[in-house]
Structure 1
């Protein structure tokens, strides 16, 4: 009590001390060279509905997904494309988490630890967990195995990480399921709604129609004022949102092999011929050590050889060499390693196991005459063939991995052999062999025609000279014409685009375009085998398009609206009772016919997608020419000739509507929320 009293008595002083200390901290932080407030702003990768997200926070998402991918794929490194896809997935997941967690918190939606445990071991186990802990032999889910895994997972960092990742995904899934169900419960389909929909579908109509298209009225006949355009723009401004984009113009200096480079490649292959053709030289080893491509151990039929080699092998013998010859910008020498009589295909069955002891036991059984098919069905890990007694059917040489292929093609019909591949241990029964044919085993020495460092330097010097002499857009434009170069364009480039016009590794150019000013020249970029010099020629910032930018499309729409008024008046004035043919003649049109159209139809033959025409036809009286209505392409009038009544099941219609609403919730709920979210994407600062 005494201690509590002392705290109370000194609380006023303590508050003052804290306030002074906090102020000093903030001032010191602001005045320091690396102040945390500005550092936080510099490290911001996004702002989502007012929530600032730092680069490290986003990177946590990326790292987690990368680790999960590596664990699943058993790989230690990621290629560029996979890394990009993971970053995109991490971004979308992070945005969804932030915008949805706001909703869950507002609505009090949560998932408890007990729920997670129930999804792992209860009556309704999550499908992914069920798949992980189902016995592949019996197909039965093993709850005891789940519990044992949960008790032991902390002993294995990989197992623990995998489970925590899975648990997080399951929790997110359950949260969204609860949110989704709340929305669905609030979107009940009433009997009145179902009845209205059913009645709309009960009638299918046959009708004649005429159209007077908007093009029949000259543009000069109607006037769209500036105020008309402005008023329409203001009323529909949300339709004119735009992302930030850039336009660039660029020239490419491509590095291609020179005549000297081609001669060097040809000389290299010529100089190699003597040693490669020497019968004492191991052709396979020589190719593997010196060629651009390794030796491929395949025995090829005559028909499988290139046309060039087909002419060579006829009458040739082992160790003969053909070439040099040029094929696909590569100089080649080909030497016949072997000529064999081999079956074109074989028929085999196998038993795949991973346990060496079990493999030895099963091998002994089938060698001793046990039923191969029954043993395969009971023991083979290759479930695709096990169901057929291990039967793989007929297959050509080169179809299977090499050890398996060689065992099948090099052993006699009826033999049972054991061989190991990357998939496990195979017990193979060679059941049959095709008729022997002549096959050729060929080793090919290759030398690609590539540009040298000298050629590369010459092209770079050319690009550098062009850049130094044409450092303004006007000079750039003139020089392209004068030097007979090709000006290329990158259009509507977005800040997070990976490439410009699919140029290899051109992300750097995208980042430059968003940092540069209008008509600013780029540095010399090196993308693949090209040097690129570019200028920024256009820039649109995120926000709304200007009235001027969308004026022509608005004018077109408003002009058609005004033309519709003119055409509706014309059709009304020329309507002659219920004679639609007379109306067609009066407006210089023709009568078209459509049949079996109901209210749910998307289009009308001869008219295209015209919802207004569908609504007009299905609501008009039989035998009367309707009042004209404006559609997408012109003004229409109809005359219904027949109505076919179909009985629509009210309850079935209600169920279908409910299902349709449910599907919309499933696929549109997140997108609807995301479309309303305020998201500032600043990833382009970092990637």
Structure 2
């Protein structure tokens, strides 16, 4: 377990550095295998990936495994809802990757052998993940003996065994994908013709003048698009109009907020506590820990570091005097002056850290006493720190921590350093172990104040909660149709909110807190249905379903105007191209053509084929290509771009030497990059995936 504890601190980056494949889930007993009907099985199917069915039990086992791994890495005993949702999404993506890539590996006979795995773990080419986990903390070098010892001992520790199995499967999956992608990379090549073409494009920089005929110069009624043209475009480009299933809702929120009566009750409660809080015999810090909504902060602060209201109080108050109640940050507060001290802003110290030995709890304390005795008899602190201190960061510097401000160290260490005297050598216990501290120097002391602040956040009472709930219930009862819902909102001047294009797996609707149930309801309701009253955080919500969009191809009626606009623009480009071409063939200069088109001649300098955009034109790859490949001092043909139609006149061309070998290497890296970033995405796009997660989460 000791080794596992150490590698946990390094394991947090594992998920990020991997391709994203996870350990295959523990195979659970099929609860539906005996006497189950096909209908029952389909009810428990969370996914179908390329014909392979995945049950909710298997998927949840995978999620649970990922949650356990995350808890081990973070040291946390529980995960919040946001993290669980994130891990669920990650498990989903990894499930898809494993299934679709597993088919590819099996088809091509790609595998990772036992010998290959051993080489990745203990060989000469250790996998980066293993190298990171088992590096020597002092030297940073990989320690193969640590790996071997861990592998020998993990069988006696189920937690360590689980952790290792998870990591091992990740590196196997990463190596499988690496082999597959390497096959594609090796099958691609950069041809000499490609290199030559790219080099020629890069070795030319041009200065040019240009005129743009913008589409806005032609009114919509000057061109026309027929119904037949729209239908033909629609039929030939159906992929453009694919849509996911979605829902639109309108909803009303009833916010549960503290009333003035709630505020006054909180203030009165604090007034009742004021007498006890100001009692010198009562420990102010303990009183705050028990009764306050804000934690006790024992730091000593200068008056100028305090809020103006409190500053005026502390500079004239007596010790244990209490100020308040006063209102700040939605909280009523009482502040007690607990101490005034002369303290420096910073201290310089060095230390020797001795960690606790679980088998001998007194060992560190005994060694510390022996070392202090040596120091008191003239021993060199720096040499002892280098020899004995387990704080490796400071030990190499003789234990020197440099100058530090109050609050930068844990409290016992902080107190010993700031309240001790220059030159003192003191022993202190903290959660890190036993420290021997040498206070080397202290800054100039100034007056500082320690305060204890008792705070009670103003929250709504149960009566306020009931009143708002009753209001929501009454609204829902009286306005139980979509028409009544909208009429009431208008008559009562309420604020309607909208949730548009909700997908079945969405977990967010506006600013609502965890509104997953509302999304699920939207996919079960019919247009015009009103939802039950939902409670999300401090809000009650009533919604109406306004629209349903089914998965598939958008109806022509929904995209008709979009297609018409595209076709109108295309026809405008055709008209403008013809006009500009005629102007050019008439023998006019670029300036004369610009004047006849009521445009201006614009200029661009130093443009090469790699230019992303042209000033005055925007992102126009067609314009860049036209300029680079047009002859010098000749008017080009008219070419349509994204934003209009262009004529170009190149005024200067400069040739530059281009390293063709460097170009070839860059093109090769581009190909390799495309494989890395697009391969998995492309395979996923071609897969047949049925996502039923919304039925379960």
Q: TM-score if structure 1 supplies the norm length? A: 0.92
State yes or no: 1:677 paired with 2:687.
yes
RMSD: 2.0
Shift of 1:562: 0.2
**Any conservation in 2 of the 1:317–1:339 contact (CA below 8 Å)?**
no
Per-residue Cα deviation, 1:613-666 (whole angstroms, up to 9, x for no partner): 011111111111111111111100000011100111111111111111111111
In structure 2, the CA distance between the partners of 1:280 and 1:133, relative to structure 1 (3 Å rule), is closer
What is the aligned counterpart of 2:593 among 567, 579, 583?
Answer: 583
In structure 2, the CA distance between the partners of 1:515 and 1:434, relative to structure 1 (3 Å rule), is same
Per-residue Cα deviation, 1:99-148 (whole angstroms, up to 9, x for no partner): 11111111111111111111111110112222333332344433333233
Shift of 1:35: 2.6
Which residue does 1:107 correspond to in 2?
108
Q: Provide the rounded CA distance (Å) in 2 between the counterparts of 1:225 and 1:382.
A: 80
**Any conservation in 1 of the 2:639–2:645 contact (CA below 8 Å)?**
yes
In structure 2, the CA distance between the partners of 1:519 and 1:386, relative to structure 1 (3 Å rule), is farther
In structure 2, the CA distance between the partners of 1:224 and 1:384, relative to structure 1 (3 Å rule), is farther
| Counterpart mapping for 1:28-47 below 5 A | 35-47=36-48
Which residue does 1:597 correspond to in 2?
607
Which residue does 2:656 correspond to in 1?
646
In structure 2, the CA distance between the partners of 1:208 and 1:389, relative to structure 1 (3 Å rule), is farther
Between stretches 548-557 and 584-593, larger displacement belongs to 548-557
Q: Provide the rounded CA distance (Å) in 2 between the counterparts of 1:243 and 1:363.
A: 72
- SS of the equivalent of 1:515 reads coil
Shift of 1:272: 2.1
Shift of 1:355: 4.6
| Counterpart mapping for 1:334-353 below 5 A | 334-353=335-354
Question: What is the total number of aligned residue pairs between the two structures?
Answer: 657
Q: Provide the rounded CA distance (Å) in 2 between the counterparts of 1:519 and 1:413.
A: 77
Which residue does 1:632 correspond to in 2?
642
In structure 2, the CA distance between the partners of 1:592 and 1:652, relative to structure 1 (3 Å rule), is same
In structure 2, the CA distance between the partners of 1:241 and 1:367, relative to structure 1 (3 Å rule), is farther
| Counterpart mapping for 1:510-521 below 5 A | 510-521=519-530
Which residue does 1:185 correspond to in 2?
186
Which residue does 2:261 correspond to in 1?
260
What is the aligned counterpart of 2:477 among 468, 487, 490?
Answer: 468
In structure 2, the CA distance between the partners of 1:355 and 1:457, relative to structure 1 (3 Å rule), is closer
**Any conservation in 1 of the 2:138–2:392 contact (CA below 8 Å)?**
no
Q: Provide the rounded CA distance (Å) in 1 between the counterparts of 2:212 and 2:198.
A: 28
State yes or no: 1:528 paired with 2:537.
yes
Per-residue Cα deviation, 1:180-212 (whole angstroms, up to 9, x for no partner): 100001111112211111111111111000001
Between stretches 631-640 and 130-139, larger displacement belongs to 130-139
**Any conservation in 1 of the 2:408–2:414 contact (CA below 8 Å)?**
yes
Which residue does 1:285 correspond to in 2?
286
| Counterpart mapping for 1:383-402 below 5 A | 383-402=392-411
Q: Provide the rounded CA distance (Å) in 1 between the counterparts of 2:534 and 2:567.
A: 46
| Counterpart mapping for 1:479-628 below 5 A | 479-575=488-584, 576-577=586-587, 579-628=589-638
In structure 2, the CA distance between the partners of 1:100 and 1:640, relative to structure 1 (3 Å rule), is same
Shift of 1:239: 2.2
Shift of 1:362: 5.5
| Counterpart mapping for 1:218-297 below 5 A | 218-297=219-298
**Any conservation in 1 of the 2:206–2:650 contact (CA below 8 Å)?**
yes
| Counterpart mapping for 1:82-161 below 5 A | 82-161=83-162
Shift of 1:407: 1.9
Q: Provide the rounded CA distance (Å) in 2 between the counterparts of 1:448 and 1:154.
A: 51
In structure 2, the CA distance between the partners of 1:619 and 1:316, relative to structure 1 (3 Å rule), is same
Which residue does 1:3 correspond to in 2?
none
In structure 2, the CA distance between the partners of 1:63 and 1:626, relative to structure 1 (3 Å rule), is same
Which residue does 2:451 correspond to in 1?
442
Unaligned runs of 5+ in 1: 1-28
Shift of 1:75: 2.4
| Counterpart mapping for 1:320-339 below 5 A | 320-339=321-340
In structure 2, the CA distance between the partners of 1:426 and 1:519, relative to structure 1 (3 Å rule), is farther
Shift of 1:554: 1.8
**Any conservation in 2 of the 1:578–1:625 contact (CA below 8 Å)?**
no
Shift of 1:41: 0.6
**Any conservation in 1 of the 2:354–2:388 contact (CA below 8 Å)?**
yes
**Any conservation in 1 of the 2:638–2:645 contact (CA below 8 Å)?**
yes
In structure 2, the CA distance between the partners of 1:494 and 1:375, relative to structure 1 (3 Å rule), is farther
Per-residue Cα deviation, 1:282-308 (whole angstroms, up to 9, x for no partner): 333332222222322221111221221
- SS of the equivalent of 1:232 reads helix
Unaligned runs of 5+ in 2: 1-31, 358-362
Per-residue Cα deviation, 1:391-444 (whole angstroms, up to 9, x for no partner): 333222122221221121122122233333333443332221111111111112
In structure 2, the CA distance between the partners of 1:587 and 1:253, relative to structure 1 (3 Å rule), is same
In structure 2, the CA distance between the partners of 1:381 and 1:48, relative to structure 1 (3 Å rule), is farther
Shift of 1:382: 4.0
Q: Provide the rounded CA distance (Å) in 1 between the counterparts of 2:660 and 2:474.
A: 78
Q: Provide the rounded CA distance (Å) in 2 between the counterparts of 1:260 and 1:267.
A: 10
Q: Provide the rounded CA distance (Å) in 2 between the counterparts of 1:184 and 1:352.
A: 52
